[in-house]
Amino acid sequence: MENFKPYFAVIFTSTQTANTNGYAEMAIKMETLAKTQKGYLGIDSAKNDVGITVSYWESLEAIKNWKANTEHLFAQKQGREQWYNWYNVRICKVEREYEFKLD
């Protein structure tokens, strides 16, 4: 824990419209693109009636740069126009973490 460096999480929570044409392909494209961005640390995602995707970043600047990425801006526009009924974005600073894993 002494070597733990705080980082940031972007929590994207959403509900989708009935028109999800092209959504899965775009989600894969955005995850692949995010992985190439400076400051990207990882991603977790779960989906049922409500989708939750959490991406992890080294800094607020890295998050700002990802949000402004041209291809990501296009995906955001598509989301608002076609795929999402609602979404919420939360940006949080992670000060501590721990996990359990059954071997």
Report the number of distinct structural domains present in the chain.
1
Do the domain assignments include residue 32?
yes
Distance, CA of 99 to CA of 92 (rounded, Å)? 18
- Does residue 21 form part of some domain? yes
Residue 27 structural domain = 7-94
- Predicted structure pTM score: 0.91
103 lies in some domain: no
For the stretch 35-52, pLDDT in tens is: 999 999 999 999 999 999
Residue 99 lies in a domain: no
Confirm whether 42 is domain-assigned: yes
Q: Is 102 domain-assigned?
A: no
Q: What is the CATH number of the domain that holds 23?
A: 3.30.70.100
Q: Is a pLDDT exceeding 90 seen at residue 64?
A: yes
